[in-house]
A and B are shown apart, each in its own frame.
Chain A
């Protein structure tokens, strides 16, 4: 489902090269549930961005659902995301000028699909049936994140990326969001990749990759196979 080989990413910062990720290689099977953990600045978010094709690696490559991302230009990668990838962000990232319902519709509309019925159904599923016509500013943080989850699943993604999805939420609301994602992962067989600090959330994942200073320092899969 997701494969990355010798992935490295360096930035130029103040004239000096800064290596954020070094030699990342792993593979994730369809329907898997991976948590990427590690301290701040360990390269988690950068890795997520590379896996989802939001950025290009300095060296190495990512194969997403059979597509080598290096071979695709930005528009092609955008289309690939639109068709097979879902996103959930720490800061929700709803379009502030669109209502909840319209936010959920966006990924489908971008593909030219009529989306209202499905969007309404998804909102109902995340428990916001009555809030469809509210703007993000009129929703609480937890509600906004539930809209974001609904949006992430709108296009029936093969893989879902989540960046600290519970980071801005209180424990109870965060738990609810995690349940929601796990449920959708189960029902729709969606592969889940999430970056998190939350030990509770990491514990629910079937596999954990631990990063420190841009390299993999622990992989529950590997340690299992080693054991």
Chain B
């Protein structure tokens, strides 16, 4: 008992000096905990908001959804539920304002009934939503209003009808803000739907029915009971809790991902802790020895410093939690456009408590390794100043501490990632990155050991030589800078590759940037003529033949689907592949986004002589896998009621990320020419004014043809990617900050030694310039190597992420990599010089007085 009191009292007295010495530890922990608390508290808020707003997200208790008009069975079910029913029919259509001649593709929703039953669609002016049904009215997305240069009160043409714009939509439950960039909303009364004339052949329409039940608690039971039957009618049923689970899942993953980025910051902070404690202990060796001389046990001495490290870690954690709560206020601003719910920023005390606990734990676990050295200081060290702790390799406690460290990192990663596998992958990657950076540092030391030729100026030789001298800081600095740069460079590479993939002209080919959909057979000629009259040559139109799978290898889809209800479903074809509507095409050649994997491409036309035999088709590889079919298998298609037999002649890989019409199934030409079909016509038009004019003319003459300006879509996607990367970068900023702290710490570690050395060199005749150049050489070498190693590592991780997670081809931009290297090296040199300014300022007389 008295021993504990002694430890605590000593820790307190001794700690007055420790506060200053361990300041870096505190700040490093604070930065990491701040990142962690902000993101976890935010995720908690998000989950709360989803739970609270789930009902209004769906707007009803039950929703039925189909790509075709709801089946009679579904209608009968809806009738039998005895609830309130509202219907919404969604389709894409060109909107056109005659007054301004503005034309733009929009997402039209035709509404019947009191939709939504829960939550509300907010409009400006407020009564507009109620008045929508009282005439040929429409309320539209404000961004669409702006794009059409229209104002409330204007007429809006949709198909064959003109609607009166009576207001704008401020918010729709469940809509994410960025949605308006992809398909701005237009609401019209449901009773005018047919009269628009836009539900013709080939139109992509989604029919929804929303039901408010007399007893909402029955929703889940009803959905579960009827889902299998409705599925065979290609109707999807959704309930409030379905939606909530899906959202929780998606948002949870976003939270987990950002949380992992925050965890990196905390682990880097741990590195800072280890380095701060290491230095602290070195300065304390004499005190430790004296304490041992006057009778303290090694266990007591160890406890004194452990208590100090814990106290500083706790201080850092609490500070960090406070920072985290502050930062949390900023997160909704950054992520607002991506979230389907409004998020209130209230501190989540669970996250705060967890964050403080985690911070304290990380501080302790990382402090333990360097602290163990205290136990090995013999009393004799009080007499011999140069004494260094004996080698630690044999100390079993060291291995225990190392194992505890590894287990802690793994546990934290698994907790933050949400499952053990990701936790393992994360810890593994961190360990690999640290290991490789360590190796890079070792390599640098090895290179520095080789003498530079005497022709290199002395200051450079001295600076480089400092890298391998006793008590050098090479490893610590390479790890600190390298890790931060590695993370940022990986983010940069991922973003670069995602955006490059979406670019319309990235690979040197000029790709079309303007697309007309739903061009009917008889409109193909006049549409192409209209494009030509604008002075542009259209790309040959691509035919689209809608069809469904009828049978496969001799068994009907209905029969296969019935079997999936049996117990063994593992080898069954995936449901989506069996039931979806295929929009296939026919042609003779492969296109740029395709690559043949197996079989042979048949350039030969399928002529009249071949009638009665199966049509050769090429099928996309993942679809082939999901259907469980291979080369030579026979598939029968239902093409608007006519059965067409086909045989798989080849399997293709398709790069779906390209803005090009891509297809699961491509038929040999000659077989489908007379089937009902629509066309996609594309062109490259670089002049925005020309694009706008053409869009207007086509919208006026062919209201059913929708046109899409890919340049705008691309801008919208860039905005989306930009939003996501902004959020990730924001969290990565913490990592950078912690990395900078560790860097500053490492520089500060050797500052004392450097100040003395600098003053001594000046006494021996070195000018300030020479002293500065020595420091410059050292940090330049450190920075360049750490950055280069980090960029090389990030190339590997960026490649892995692009290949396996985002599934886009990987490209390495040398310019960007060079910039990252230069910035990192510059930063290192700046911090190094800044930390050594005292060296330059001090007069050489200090050396004479060093002993005083």
Contact = CB atoms under 8 A, between A and B. Distances in A.
A and B from one complex:
yes
Interface of A: 45, 48-49, 52, 54-55, 74-75, 78-83, 85, 87, 89-91, 93, 95-98, 102, 106-107, 109-112, 114, 135, 137, 151, 155, 163
A93 B847 contact: yes
A75 B768 contact: yes
A87 B501 CA distance: 66
B766 interface: yes
A75 B767 contact: yes
Contact of A137 (B386, B760, B769): B386
Contact of A110 (B757, B770, B852): B770
B760 A93 contact: yes
A80 B753 CA distance: 25
B845 A97 contact: no
A79 B767 contact: yes
Contact of A81 (B457, B757, B765, B852): B765
B573 to A, nearest CB: 70
Interface in B807-852: 843-845, 847-852
Contacts of A107: 764-765
B767 A78 contact: yes
B466 A45 contact: no
Given A45-B852, A97-B753, 18 more contacts: A45-B849, A49-B848, A52-B763, A54-B843, A54-B844, A74-B843, A78-B765, A81-B763, A81-B764, A81-B765, A89-B848, A93-B763, A96-B470, A96-B753, A96-B757, A110-B766, A110-B770, A137-B470
Contact of A109 (B462, B466, B760): B462
Interface string B663-697: 00000000000000000000000000000000000
Given A89-B847, A109-B458, A163-B848, A97 B764 contact: no
6 contacts: A45-B849, A74-B843, A75-B769, A78-B766, A110-B765, A163-B848
Nearest to A168: B851
B1 interface: no
B845 A91 contact: no
Contacts of A109: 458, 461-462
B762 interface: yes
B471 interface: yes
A164 to B, nearest CB: 9
B19 interface: no
Contacts of A91: 850-851
B753 A93 contact: no
B848 A97 contact: no
Nearest to B769: A75
Contacts of A137: 386, 470
Contact of A82 (B466, B765, B845): B765
B458 A112 contact: yes
B454 interface: yes
Interface residues of B, number: 34
Contacts of B469: 97-98
A52 B770 CA distance: 20
Pairs of residues from A and B, 8 with the lowest C-beta to C-beta distance, nearest first: A82-B765, A97-B469, A109-B458, A75-B767, A54-B845, A81-B765, A55-B845, A49-B845
A111 B470 contact: no
Contact of B466 (A83, A97, A155): A97
A172 to B, nearest CB: 21
Contact of A45 (B461, B766, B843, B848): B848
A74 B768 contact: yes
B631 interface: no
Interface of B: 386, 454, 457-458, 461-462, 465-466, 469-472, 753, 757, 760-770, 843-845, 847-852
A176 to B, nearest CB: 21
B448 to A, nearest CB: 12
A114 B454 contact: yes
A110 B761 contact: yes
Contact of B765 (A45, A89, A111): A111
A48 B765 contact: no
Given A93-B847, A97-B466, A87 B764 contact: yes
Contacts of B847: 54, 89, 93
Contacts of B471: 96-97
Contacts of A135: 470
Nearest to A154: B764
Given A75-B767, A87-B764, A106-B761, A93 B850 contact: yes
Contacts of B458: 109-110, 112
Interface centre among B763, B766, B843, B850 (most CB of A within 10 A): B763
A48 B768 contact: no
B766 A54 contact: no
A82 B457 contact: no
Nearest to B462: A109
A205 to B, nearest CB: 19
A97 B848 CA distance: 19
B470 A54 contact: no
Nearest to A50: B845
B632 to A, nearest CB: 74
A82 B465 CA distance: 21
Contacts of B770: 110
Nearest to B472: A97
A73 B140 CA distance: 76
Nearest to B461: A109
Nearest to A40: B852
Contacts of A110: 458, 761, 764-766, 770
Contacts of B461: 109
Contacts of B761: 95, 106, 110
Contacts of A112: 457-458
A91 B852 CA distance: 11
B769 A155 contact: no
A214 to B, nearest CB: 16
A82 B766 contact: yes
Contacts of B848: 45, 48-49, 54, 89, 163
Contacts of A102: 465
A83 B753 CA distance: 25
Contact of B757 (A54, A75, A89, A95): A95
Contacts of A111: 765
A106 B764 contact: yes
Contacts of A93: 760, 763, 847, 850
Nearest to B467: A97
Contacts of B767: 75, 78-79
A147 B768 CA distance: 25
Nearest to A91: B851
Given A54-B843, A137-B386, A87 B763 contact: yes
A43 to B, nearest CB: 12
The interface centre, meaning the residue of B469, B763, B764 with most chain A CB atoms within 10 A of its CB, is B764
A133 to B, nearest CB: 12
Contacts of A74: 762, 768, 843
A68 to B, nearest CB: 18
Nearest to B454: A114
Nearest to B840: A74
A82 B852 CA distance: 25
A82 B761 CA distance: 9
A85 B765 CA distance: 8
B619 to A, nearest CB: 68
Contact of B762 (A48, A49, A78): A78
A79 B766 CA distance: 7
A221 B833 CA distance: 49
B767 to A, nearest CB: 4
A163 B844 CA distance: 14
Nearest to A74: B768
A114 B763 CA distance: 20
A74 to B, nearest CB: 7
A54 B757 CA distance: 15
Contacts of B466: 97
A137 B471 CA distance: 12
A71 B845 CA distance: 19
Nearest to B768: A75
B463 to A, nearest CB: 11
